[in-house]
């Protein structure tokens, strides 16, 4: 379980419903680069439910192995939505994501009905970043 300021944090997304809209998932070559060279890997598509299963892959794990991924080529808007069973007051987020991409994490405001920005997730060093002990926004 994650902690913040000494208190346990509840994962309100654990086991939630995940939906996707947009371009094709798992579409394209899977290259993973480390100091010393790049490697071509076979893609390993996974179920969307892995997004909310509470399991984090090791730091610097290849972005296209055992993950949900896509290429932006061809354009198109892509959205992954996590449906929570009720409204929560969320005080922190933890995200594991690829290093050379930036992401926007939004939330649906229960009163206004609008999607609002919660966190502009920045790029980082190579491989997957973020785990249960990572700093969150």
Look up residue 21 and give its two tokens: 């809209």
Q: Which pLDDT band holds residue 116 (cuts at 50, 70, 90)?
A: very high
Q: Is the pLDDT of residue 13 over 90?
A: yes
92-115 residue pLDDT tens: 888 888 878 888 999 999 899 999
Residue pair 93/113 in contact by the 8 Å Cβ criterion: no
CB atoms within 10 A of CB 69: 21
pLDDT at residue 135 in the model: 43
Sign of CA dihedral 102, 44, 133, 34: negative
- Per domain, the residue ranges of the chain are 1-137
Average pLDDT value for residue range 120-129? 73
Indicate yes or no: pTM above 0.75.
yes
């Amino acid at each position: 379980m994650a902690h913040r300021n000494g208190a346990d944090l509840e994962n309100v997304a654990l086991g939630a419903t995940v939906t996707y809209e947009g371009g094709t998932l798992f579409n394209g070559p899977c290259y993973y680069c480390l100091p010393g060279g790049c490697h071509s890997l076979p893609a390993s598509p996974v179920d969307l439910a892995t997004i909310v299963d509470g399991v984090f892959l090791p730091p610097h794990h290849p972005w296209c192995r055992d993950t949900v991924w896509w290429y932006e080529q061809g354009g198109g808007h892509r959205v992954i939505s996590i449906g929570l069973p009720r409204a929560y007051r969320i005080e922190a987020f933890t995200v594991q994501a690829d290093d050379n991409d930036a992401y926007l994490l939004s939330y649906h405001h229960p009163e206004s009905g609008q999607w609002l920005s919660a966190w502009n997730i920045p790029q980082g060093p190579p491989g997957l970043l973020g785990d249960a002990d990572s700093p969150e926004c």
